[in-house]
């Protein structure tokens, strides 16, 4: 499949991909939906006005002239597939409808360096899972020892917790070092102050397209029909805050200050050529979680780190999505089996993705083995934990025959915590005014 638009073989956005995003331009501040093709963004709101989707979207007006993808996502998998087929036809090398219409091309195809990308989805709920066996094992060894690395329930169900949707931010948003309680080793009482063990977590996220009704579970066989697409996720983590607060209810302030996602949502259909079987599950899950066949994807994942005074980023981790023990379908089936309703725009994170080698670990917690083995990444720089000014970049792609289906990047830079004395003074002023 070839497009009339020239696309570099290493580009993440060939005609085989066509991810969706929300953008604006300097000349048109209206947020609207587009798809990435090579170095361009195709404005779908213009194609919609020109009648390209008339026989597909029917009576749903201006679905691409919206500030989020939610309305389109809620239309269901059959509509998504039809729109995708139409876009691939319109952009193909042999189709003259857009290729030979110069005035329409000028209006509808915008260079990517001229657009501003926005959060693609209005996220109502966010659930984060713990789906990597290697990651769970590494963390378990650190905190409980090798004999008790995995909790007894881990191989029987996809463990997860409900996160904070309001702090899911777009790639490029600066991440402020959080404040919280920590309890230093051998201290009698906790202290309050900036996090000193700030970490990244290499994850991916499933975005729910069409949801389910309250009380009506989604079967594992039907679950993928409810997934609109996938994004890269960096679920930032304050390890020292988490170590003190997580018992008995799990993550709270340590995880709710920021979760970064990539701007382009890759349709699940674009990933079908890269399906692979996931790890063998032993023991066999209970019947409602049993799956057969290729339920995972061959997605290469990389993490890069750049210090404030460094000129270039250095790769510090390389892994693959296919190593995840629990699949997206199993996460959805378990999430809804008790009757929970999922809605259009909900985000389900995989949890940290780690492989079996040291180089494939997806967090500094593992790469440095809880700070005892610093990571060296060039120009005389090493890290136990993230420092102010550090920039973390994650990327991922599937390698085809002469093309890539990629996710772009998710990037974030750490900025210093708020000044504690200043915060206390502001609080005192507010209190005294009351």
Length of the chain measured in residues: 434
Between CA 39 and CA 8 the distance in angstroms is 9
Closest to 250 measured CA to CA, from 130, 392, 419:
130
Is 135 designated active site? Answer: yes
Among positive and negative, which fits the CA dihedral 314, 320, 326, 328? Answer: positive
Between CA 159 and CA 240 the distance in angstroms is 22
Active-site position among 135, 226, 334, 335: 135
Across 364-430, the runs of DSSP E, i.e. the strands, are 375-376, 382-383, 391-399, 404-415
Between CA 2 and CA 24 the distance in angstroms is 27
Helix (H, G, I), strand (E, B) or coil at 182: strand
CB atoms under 10 Å from CB of 211, counted, come to: 21
The structure tokens listed for 346 are 């909900």
Helix (H, G, I), strand (E, B) or coil at 303: strand
Between CA 214 and CA 386 the distance in angstroms is 41
The structure tokens listed for 164 are 């904070």
Closest to 139 measured CA to CA, from 151, 128, 123, 127:
151
The structure tokens listed for 408 are 């772009």
Q: Where are the alpha helices (DSSP H) in 124-253?
A: 133-144, 239-245
Between CA 417 and CA 414 the distance in angstroms is 9
Closest to 194 measured CA to CA, from 414, 411, 429, 425:
414
In contact, 359 and 369? CB cutoff 8 Å: no
Between CA 206 and CA 109 the distance in angstroms is 28
Which secondary-structure segment (H or E) carries 260?
A: strand 259-261
The structure tokens listed for 350 are 């995989």
In contact, 330 and 279? CB cutoff 8 Å: no
Helix (H, G, I), strand (E, B) or coil at 367: helix
Between CA 14 and CA 276 the distance in angstroms is 21
Catalytic residues: 135
């Amino acid at each position: 499949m070839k497009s009339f638009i020239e696309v570099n073989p290493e580009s993440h956005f060939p005609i085989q991909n066509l991810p969706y995003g929300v953008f604006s331009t300097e000349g048109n501040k209206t947020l609207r939906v587009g798809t990435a093709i090579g170095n361009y963004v195709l404005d779908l709101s213009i194609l919609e006005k020109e009648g390209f989707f008339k026989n597909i979207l029917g009576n749903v007006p201006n679905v691409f002239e919206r500030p989020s993808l939610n309305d389109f996502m809620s239309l269901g998998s059959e509509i998504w597939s039809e729109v995708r087929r139409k876009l691939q036809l319109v952009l193909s090398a042999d189709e003259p409808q857009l290729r030979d219409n110069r005035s329409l091309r000028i209006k509808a195809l915008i260079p990517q360096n001229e657009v501003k990308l926005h959060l693609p989805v209005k996220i109502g709920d966010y659930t984060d899972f713990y789906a990597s066996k290697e990651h769970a094992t590494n963390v378990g060894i650190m905190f409980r020892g090798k004999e008790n690395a995995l909790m007894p329930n881990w191989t029987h169900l996809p463990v997860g917790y409900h996160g904070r949707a309001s702090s899911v931010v777009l790639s490029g948003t600066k991440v402020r070092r959080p404040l919280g309680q920590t309890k230093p080793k051998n201290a009698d009482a906790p202290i309050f102050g900036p996090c000193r063990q700030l970490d990244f977590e290499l994850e991916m996220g499933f975005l729910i397209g069409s949801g389910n009704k309250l009380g009506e579970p989604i079967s594992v066989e039907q679950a993928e029909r409810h997934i609109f697409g996938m994004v890269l996720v960096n679920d930032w983590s304050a390890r020292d805050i988490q170590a003190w607060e997580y018992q008995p209810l799990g993550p709270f302030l340590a995880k709710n200050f920021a979760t970064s996602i990539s701007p382009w949502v890759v349709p699940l259909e674009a990933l079908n050529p890269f399906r692979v079987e996931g790890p063998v599950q032993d023991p066999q899950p209970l019947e409602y979680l049993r799956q057969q066949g290729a339920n995972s994807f061959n997605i290469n994942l990389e993490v890069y780190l750049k210090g404030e005074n460094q000129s270039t980023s250095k790769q510090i981790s390389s892994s693959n999505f296919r190593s995840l023990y629990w699949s997206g379908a199993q996460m959805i089936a378990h999430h809804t089996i008790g009757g929970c309703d999922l809605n259009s725009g909900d985000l389900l994170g995989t949890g940290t993705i780690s492989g079996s080698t040291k180089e494939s670990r997806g967090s500094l917690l593992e790469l440095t083995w809880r700070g005892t083995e610093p990571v060296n990444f060039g120009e005389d720089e090493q890290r136990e934990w993230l420092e102010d000014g550090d920039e973390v970049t994650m990327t991922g792609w599937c390698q085809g025959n002469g093309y890539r289906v990629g996710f772009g990047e998710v990037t974030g830079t750490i900025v210093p915590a708020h000044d504690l004395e200043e915060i206390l003074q502001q609080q005192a002023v507010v209190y005294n005014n009351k």
